[in-house]
Amino acid sequence: MSVASAGLGVHVVGLQKSFGSFRALSGLDLDVPVGTVAGLLGPNGAGKTTTIRILATLTTADSGSAWVGGHNVADDPHSVRSVIALTGQYAAVDGDLTGRQNLVMIAHLCRFSRAYARTRADELLARFGLGAASGRLVRTYSGGMRRRLDLAASLVSPPRVLFLDEPTTGLDPPSREELWGVVRDLKAEGTTVVLTTQYLEEADRLADDITVIDHGKAVARGTATELKATVGGDIIELRSRQPSLLEPAAALVARRAGAGDYAVNLLTEAGSATVAIPSGSLSTVDAVRILDAAGLPMDEISLRRASLDEVFTTLTRRK
């Protein structure tokens, strides 16, 4: 184990990867302590899936270093594969086999005994609420059932590090909640989980630490609360039936609150604008007085805490 990666389930330094002229990763750094859930957020094309594929030994980096479970991804990929599991964006299960047959087959491929394969399959089917459907062909399963079976398959050989690449895509809210429960259980058992997601609520509720990736590098990292504080802990929302007033009003509020221009998000078609400001820098009454004095009256002014969605939008718009 590398001294640098001691105590870390995942340790990444300066990872770079290009596909032709497209730079997918531009010096990404990432640390995930053992037994925690790390969320990777970023717009499409930011480099999230490329990062997961490199860490799971499915592709190689052009430069930089990465360790998973204490093993160097480039120098010892076989050892990395022995301690990880990956659930991709789409369920990779065989529709012509039953749910139980899928899990038993994977156990056999992992060279487990027949007795262990049967026992482990039954344990996982029960854990994911698939016991009653275990004898049905998977092609008859709903999308949520197939997704749960896919995650169960990744746990046939209990991993030390689990990569989940947008695992709840296409799931209904109850199925999403069930999968979140499984992730929490895995964390409690000491599994390190790296989660990419487009659902910001998912990262907010599951991740101990969130890394926001944009243009192939980390642009921010911290807990959900810390990230909200970095871009302005409060949000002032302005509404007006005169869209032309929104931009100068939002810019004035941002300036008086000490926020940068990037903090302003104009939604002129909806007749509103939001401004991310430092916590406690302005009250609603302050904003009303400032805008009235400037001849920029609004129909509605409200103050609230920032959401992770707004943090994401602000951070990935800076460039």
pTM of the complete model: 0.78
Residue 97 or residue 42, greater confidence = 97
Q: Of the given ranges (6-10, 82-86, 94-98, 161-165), which has the lowest mean pLDDT? A: 6-10
- Amino acid 51: pLDDT: 95
Q: What CATH number has the domain spanning 231-317?
A: 3.30.70
For 113-159, the pLDDT digits (tens) are 999 999 999 999 998 889 999 999 999 998 888 888 998 999 999 99
Model confidence at 2, in pLDDT bands (50, 70, 90)? low
- Amino acid 252: pLDDT: 94
Mean pLDDT of the chain: 89
Domain regions of the chain by residue span:
8-227, 231-317
Residue 92 predicted with pLDDT over 70:
yes
CATH class held by domain 8-227: alpha beta
- Amino acid 270: pLDDT: 78
For 198-251, the pLDDT digits (tens) are 777 888 889 999 999 988 999 889 988 888 776 657 889 999 999 899 999 999
- Amino acid 3: pLDDT: 44
For the chain, the DSSP string reads: --TTTTTEEEEEEEEEEEETTEEEEEEEEEEEETT-EEEEE--TTSSHHHHHHHHTTSS--SEEEEEETTEETTT-HHHHHTTEEEE-SS----TTSBHHHHHHHHHHHTT--HHHHHHHHHHHHHHTT-GGGTTSBGGGS-HHHHHHHHHHHHTSS--SEEEEESTTTT--HHHHHHHHHHHHHHHHTT-EEEEE-S-HHHHHHH-SEEEEEETTEEEEEE-HHHHHHHT-SEEEEEE-S-GGGHHHHHHHHHHHHT--GGGEEEEGGGTEEEEEE-TTS--HHHHHHHHHHTT---SEEEEEEPPHHHHHHHHHH--
- Amino acid 318: pLDDT: 47
